[in-house]
Every structure is written in structure tokens, then in C-alpha cells.
Amino acid sequence: MTDWPFLAWSPDDAAAAVYDVTVDGAWEQLVDFYAGGSPCAPLERIVALAREHGVRSLVVEQRHLDPDWRSEHAAFHGRLFRRHPTVTHRWHLFTDDVDPEDLTRLDPVAYRGYAVMRPLPATPVGRTMITPPPGLDGGVRCEATERVSLFGTPLTVRAMPFLSQDAEYLRCAHATLWMVLRHAHLAHGIPRRLTAAVHDAALGGVIVGRQVPSEGLSVQQMMAGATRLGLSPGLVHLPQTRAEDGDAGMLTLHGILSRYVNSQAPPIVISRAHAWVVVGYRRVSPESGAGVRLWRHDDARGPYLEVADPFDELDEAHRPWQAAILPLLPDVYVTAERAEAAGEHWFGGYLGQADPDEPIARAGAAGALTWRTYVTRADEWLERLHGRGVDPELAQLYRLTPMPEYVWVVEAVDRAARAAGTPDVVGEAILDSTASTHHEPLLSGLIALHGGRLAHRVGPDHGERREIHLAEPGHYRTGRRGRA
């Protein structure tokens, strides 16, 4: 590693430096400087994403006060003999040409996000928000919108937060916890948690090694840290071989993880020696309705990496996928698996009495009926009804139904319509996210159900049932968030 002098980090008092990255060798020189001449996979991945987006200009804030880095600096890096600056550089990516003589004229439409560079040779990549790559277009993504102000120009970026470990104070477990907590802050409004707070919240318990410098965390420490910082995490074991996937009543790996991506609750996957965050998925064979490809943020390798096959990982660190930490919110007591089982139960009762010409009955008879499950804020879900093609009478029933803050939605999906890329929902069960999990399958948790011609809702206090009949039931669009 080629280190750089302390004072070289801020060579002058200029507000920013602007780089024309279309010039041959520009990216390589930047990577060489920030990584100190060492290989740095996360930084190289950020450059690769910038190239995919067609980025032309890089604006570098040369004195950015990053709260996460300052928290780490106060807790660890500021105590070292070799000094590290307390300020960071922040890269801003633009797909147009930025005039270095007038940085007050920036085009928000051309903005593709930012990446904070810590003054740590070999592990520079800090808090990062970069627009997902074109390969995830049409996929389902965990993401949130962040507003950025750059020299008086308001900018926005919609992405999944990323952070790399520094291999001393922060390890992969800390980085993954920070990513899901930062997403929960931006997407769901939980308090912001800085990296030092994440580190401290995971101390104690079942220790796998030295805590400072960190040798990593146990699953118990990760669960405890997530709980202390405002989440209500669950833990599920994943099928570790293709033979176990969906065998003997087991849930499939893709089925488990996709439910939480649908819910904007990015799951943390754990192998024997590493952890990463699943941030999206995409169907790779839409014409057949089969085949799902996952995408991950891997703090040691970079953001938005496509996973070819979880059961045939090339990197030893990724083998096998053992378990997933599910970062549910505190007000969501029911897991996706229980919600889907309950929805399937209620739909089973409806199908027994549905008319053969109803869309849900036709899909069931053709073996084309499946389920899509997600948790969502009830008010946001109701506000999205208008643009989904939901029958106005059905929308009115939903809007006047008392609901908790969060609801589980189990959509009955017509696979043939999904494969054709047309509206594919033929019914939905709305379930109380705080229902008792003691009784299966959540017998007291049904709020409303629509299957075809019939829809009804159940009052929470008196159990009053209100029922409507739709003359011409049809397909409508999903209410799940995160679809590009």
C-alpha cells in the first residue's frame, strides 16, 4: 500500500474539485489515490456503476463533514498514533458536463448519487447512495430517497445505502447492520444511527473474538444490536443446498428473501465467515414466469452485485447461505411466512365458493395461482389504490376499513398475467401485523379479503362484517413498493 501524507488530504481551501471522467485514465488515477495504490473492490465497483450510468463529471467536496466518519474517528481512529483527518471527501456523480467555474449551476436530473471517501488508504468507501444499475430495471428493490444539498442546489437520489468495513473498527457485520438501519431511517423514519452507535450496540453477549479492534460479531450480537437500535429482527435458517430448497415442506431460499425485499426490509444473509444484504431481485425469464435473480450489497466487494446462483457461489466467503436476519420494524409482530400461510388459508376458503369464470378461479384451475406477500404502512397502501386499477367500490371498502399502522398484504397473483407483464393481482388478503401469533393461521388477523366478485371486511371491535359484490372483477396492479 502506498500511503499519502496527512496534509495531502486537503491540498487547498477550494470548495470542490471537478473531474472530467471521460478522459482516459481519469477513473484509474482517482482509484489509485483514494485506495493508496492497493486493490479496493468496493471503490472499483462504484466506478463500474458510474460507468454503467454514463457519468461524465465527478464533483468532489474536499471538506465534507460526515457524521458517520466523525463518530468512528472519535471512538477509534482519532486514538491512533498515525493521524487521520476528521473530514472526508464526497464524490457526486453527474451524467452531464459540470462547469468547474460555476458550481452553483448543477442539473438535478443528471445526478446519480454520492459516495463518501474516508481518509483510510485501502478501505476508503464510507456512506454511499448510488442509483441502482440498469441491470435491476424492472426488478424489485429495497431503496429510499435521500435529499442532498450541494453548494445550494437541492439534489435527490433514490437508492439502497451502502457502506464498506474498515477491517479494524467496523467489520462486515457492523456494515450490514448500518445499511439496514440507514435504510430504515430513510424509508421508515426510525432514528438515525451512526456507525459508532452500531458498533457499541453490538458489544457483549456471545463474543467470537476481540471487540476493539473488531474480529467480527456473532449472530447473537447482531440480533441484539439491531434490537437495541430500534428494529425487531427475526432469524430464519435458509436451505443450504439445492436439494433442500423447497423440499419436504421447506420454504425456498428465493421465496423467503423476496418477501422481505417486497416489504422494504432488506434481509442480512450470513454464511460461515461473512455477511451481506439482499437488496433486490429480478425475474430473469419473464416469458415463463420462472427464475429469480438476487442482488446484494457486499461491504467487502461493493454495492449492487448480481448473484448468479446462491447454491453455487464462486467465493468461499459466500458459502453456504446459512441464515437470514430479518430487520422487521417493532410494530410488525407477524412474520412474512405466517402472514402468507394465513392468506393462503383464507383464499382457500374463498376458492371453494368462487364462480368458475372469476379471474382468481380461472388462475387456480389452470395451476397459475401464486402469492405475493409484503408488509406496508396502511396509509401509504391506501393512498396507492387510485393508481392501481382497483375497482372504485373495492377501493372505497378498503379506505373506510379501520387498519393498524402496518398491514401484511397477501396478493393472489395470476402467473400468466405476471409473465405477460400485465396487471396480475386477482385478489388480496389484508392482515393485522400485530395479530396474535399463538393461534395458527392467525385466525383473528384478517382485516379484509377480496377474491373475485366478493370482498368483505371485518370490524376490529364488534366483528361487524361488511360485504360487497363486484359485477366485473378483473386484474389490477400490485401495491408493493420498490418496483422500478
3 pLDDT band, cuts 50/70/90, is low
Residue type, 146: E
What does the alpha-carbon distance between residue 415 and residue 393 come to, in Å, rounded to a whole number? Answer: 25
Per-residue DSSP letters for 366-390?
Answer: TT-EEEEEEEEEHHHHHHTGGGGT-
Average pLDDT over residues 188-208: 93
* Omega before residue 213 within 30° of 0, cis: yes
On whether the pTM is more than 0.85, the answer is yes
Instruction: List for the chain the helix, strand, coil content (%; round to 5).
Output: 30, 25, 45
The confidence score (pLDDT) of residue 169 equals: 93
- pLDDT tens profile 291-307: 889 999 999 999 999 99
* pLDDT mean over 54-61: 97
Rounded CA-CA distance 46/142 in Å is 18
Cell output for 464: 361487524
In angstroms, the first-to-last Cα distance of the chain is 40
State the pLDDT confidence band at 251, using cuts at 50, 70 and 90: confident
Least confident of 12-26, 311-325, 434-448: 434-448
The count of other CB atoms within 10 Å of the CB of residue 357 is 10
Q: Is the pLDDT of residue 43 over 90?
A: yes
> How confident is residue 82, by pLDDT bands cut at 50, 70 and 90?
confident
Domain boundaries, the chain: 6-195, 234-326, 336-469
Q: Position 400: which residue type?
A: L
Distant-in-sequence, close-in-space partners of 11: CB < 8 Å, separation ≥ 6: 62
Per the CB < 8 A criterion, the answer to whether 177 and 198 are in contact is yes
Encode pLDDT of 304-330 as tens digits.
999 999 999 999 999 999 999 999 999
pLDDT-wise least confident of 82-91, 139-148, 235-244, 245-254: 245-254
Q: Which of 146-160, 275-289, 317-331, 383-397 has the lowest mean pLDDT?
A: 275-289
Q: How far is CA 242 from the centre of its chain?
A: 25
d(CA 17, CA 441): 59
Rg (alpha carbons) of the chain, rounded to whole number: 24
What 3-state class would DSSP assign to 363? helix
CB 303 within 8 A of CB 135: no
480-to-228, 258, 372, 374, 484 alpha-carbon distances in Å: 28, 12, 9, 7, 11
Which contacts of 107-114 are long-range, i.e. CB under 8 A and separated by 24 or more positions? 108/153, 108/154, 108/155, 108/156, 111/148, 111/155, 111/156, 111/157, 112/50, 112/53, 112/55, 112/157, 113/157, 113/159, 114/90, 114/148, 114/157
**What integer pLDDT is reported at residue 440 of this predicted model?**
61
pLDDT of the residue at 285: 66
Q: Which three cell numbers stand for residue 336?
A: 412474512
Q: Calculate the alpha carbon distances from 165 to 170, 218, 301, 335, 429 in Å.
A: 5, 16, 10, 30, 41
- Percentage of the chain surpassing pLDDT 90? 79
Which pLDDT does position 289 carry in this prediction?
45
Residue 193 and residue 195: Cα distance in Å, rounded? 7
Kindly indicate the confidence band of residue 288, based on its pLDDT and cuts at 50, 70 and 90: very low
Tell which wins on pLDDT, 6 or 35.
35
pLDDT given at position 441: 54
Confidence of residue 463 (pLDDT cuts 50, 70, 90): confident
CA 85 to chain centre: 31
Q: Judge contact between 285 and 291, C-beta under 8 A.
A: yes
Q: What is the largest CA-CA distance in the chain?
A: 77
User: Do residues 201 and 229 make contact, with C-beta atoms less than 8 angstroms apart?
Assistant: yes
* Beta strand extents in 308-368 (DSSP E only): 323-326
Q: Quickly state the pLDDT bin for 369 (edges 50, 70, 90).
A: very high
pLDDT computed for residue 483 by the predictor: 65
Q: What is the mean pLDDT of residues 328-339?
A: 92
Whether a cis peptide bond, with omega within 30° of 0, leads into 441 is: yes
Give whole-number Cα distances, 142 to 42, 397, 438, in Å: 19, 29, 30
Per-residue confidence (pLDDT) for residue 179, from 0 to 100: 98
pLDDT at 249: 60
Above 60 in pLDDT, residue 248?
Answer: no
C-alpha cell at 17: 474539485
∠ Cα 468 401 373 (to 5°): 90
**Mean residue pLDDT across the chain:** 92
